[in-house]
Amino acid sequence: MPEPTIMMLAPKRWREAKQLRLAALRAEPSAFAASYEDELAFPDDVWIARLTSAYERDGNLTIFAEVEGALLGMAGAGWSRKAKLQHVAEVYSVYVSPEARGRGIASRLMRRLLEELRSLGQIEKVSLTVNSEADAALRLYQGLGFKIIGTSRRTLKAEGRAYNLHIMELHFESE
Ligand SMILES: CC(C)(COP(=O)(O)OP(=O)(O)OC[C@H]1O[C@@H](n2cnc3c(N)ncnc32)[C@H](O)[C@@H]1OP(=O)(O)O)[C@@H](O)C(=O)NCCC(=O)NCCS
Domain extent for 96: 5-174
Whether the full predicted model's pTM is greater than 0.95, yes or no, is yes
CA of 109, closest atom in ligand 1: 12
Is residue 31 within 6 Å of ligand 1 at its C-beta? Answer: yes
131 with 165: CB under 8 angstroms?
Answer: yes
pLDDT of residue 1: 83
What's the CA gap between 6 and 82, in Å, rounded?
A: 30
pLDDT of residue 174: 63
CA of 142, closest atom in ligand 1: 34
Domain count, the chain: 1
What's the CA gap between 165 and 82, in Å, rounded?
A: 25
Helices (H), the chain: 14-27, 36-40, 44-55, 105-119, 135-143
Per-residue confidence of the chain (175 residues) as pLDDT tens digits?
Answer: 889 999 999 999 999 999 999 999 999 999 999 999 999 999 999 999 999 999 999 999 999 999 999 999 999 999 999 999 999 999 999 999 999 999 999 999 999 999 999 999 999 999 999 999 999 999 999 999 999 999 999 999 999 999 999 999 999 986 5
SS3 20: helix
CA of 129 to the centre of ligand 1 (A): 15
Give Cβ neighbours of residue 120 (< 8 Å, ≥ 6 apart).
57, 79
Rg (CA), the chain: 16
Is residue 99 within 6 Å of ligand 1 at its C-beta? Answer: no
Task: Output the DSSP codes for 50-72.
Answer: HHHHHHTTSSEEEEEEEETTEEE
CA of 153 to the centre of ligand 1 (A): 23
pLDDT of residue 153: 98
CATH of the domain at 75: 3.40.630.30
SS3 3: coil
- Greatest CA separation for the chain: 45
Nearest CA to ligand 1 atom 37: 136
Q: Is the dihedral of CA 93, 33, 42, 81 positive or negative?
A: negative
Is residue 95 within 6 Å of ligand 1 at its C-beta? Answer: yes
